[in-house]
Amino acid sequence: MRMRTSLIYIIILVFFISVIPTKKGITAPGVSAQSAIVMEQESGRVIFGKHEHEKRRIASITKIMTAILAIESGKMNENVVVSKNAEGTEGSSLYLIANEKIKLEDLVYGLMLRSGNDAAVAIAEFVGGSVDGFAYMMNQKAEEIGMKNSHFRNPHGLDTHEDHYSTAYDMAILTRYAMGNEHYQKIAGTKVYRSPHPEEKWDRVWKNKNKLVTGLYPYSTGGKTGYTKRAKRTLVSTASKDGMNLIAVTLNAPDDWNDHISMFNYTFNHYELVKVLKEGKLRKIEDTFYQNKIYYKHDFLYPVVNDEEEQIKVKISLVKPDSKKWKEATDIPVPIGKASIYLGDKLIGEQSIFFDIDSMPESRKSFFDWFKSLFFTFLGVELYG
């Protein structure tokens, strides 16, 4: 009898435990991809990762690097003469004609929307002098922005080199960098683009291959598709909702469209973007020299889930004031300090702190300084040098 009663109590207890909502019991999204990541764009926080640091072939998402280098070249309005080498590039094509002249900007649209491999080669030859020269530029940029597990050998991502690879994490880093450029944002999010055809009266019309952008996902803002026989399906996409901007990357993903939708919805449903630091002057500063005189240039936003906001701490570090040396506004160090932001014990960001030089009182000249100025003025030094 006692055993039966105990069993009933156990069943009741298990039932109540199962129905009580738990804050931390959030199920991560399931994805078909071999490697995947979701990154919040502003902070760089990795929301979800699956083998995100594993090196893999990346196919045409390579062209994100090609596009941003073309944009940063400052030559977008210049004409490119298409080479025979570019015309003959295998795979997806804009059907460029050797010796035709086409604006670099048009090539970048064709590169991103239709994944033109011929456009990639034409861009590489124009911006980098040659395909090899452009590959060198690609690797320089990768190193500059922190892509530690990537190596580029061509501008299109075709399986022509064994040492052309990246990771889901690195491609998110690249996309985060590229999305900081408004011209890139516009191109990557364009649904349809028209480019003049040199041999015909009609324009070339390119529709974006990214189905998320063209209607499959309402919050989509851009991205790049990719496929080769060895890399399989690769996809980079971006999405924005309620002020939160996300980057998703999948490598070798049979069901990539749904993978990205699942990862985006998971993040939008469970994470909130909070303002940790507010643009403007810092309050509650004990040092009288700095009171109402130091400020942040911009907000610091960070995505959090559940009770994480309560775990965020900010540590302020400021240069010790030096009244003997800081006589003029130009004597004040720039920046004057920094804010270190922690989530628990983990450093999640740093933000510079600046001194408001307009709040610094004008220095008073000593009698000697006044006399010296008057003396040199009398001699005509200040007037004539």
Residues designated as active site: 60, 63, 115
Give the HSE-up count for residue 259: Cα atoms under 13 Å, Cβ half-sphere. 26
Amino acid sitting at position 210: N
Distance, CA of 338 to CA of 314 (rounded, Å)? 10
Q: Cβ(71)–Cβ(277) under 8 Å?
A: no
Helix (H/G/I), strand (E/B), else coil: 363: coil
Q: Cβ(253)–Cβ(32) under 8 Å?
A: yes
Distance, CA of 322 to CA of 292 (rounded, Å)? 18
Distance, CA of 50 to CA of 52 (rounded, Å)? 5
DSSP string for residues in 140-188 = HHHHHHT-TT-B-S-SS--TT-TT-BB-HHHHHHHHHHHTTSHHHHHHH
Q: Cβ(41)–Cβ(176) under 8 Å?
A: yes
Eight-class DSSP state of 290: T
Distance, CA of 105 to CA of 71 (rounded, Å)? 8
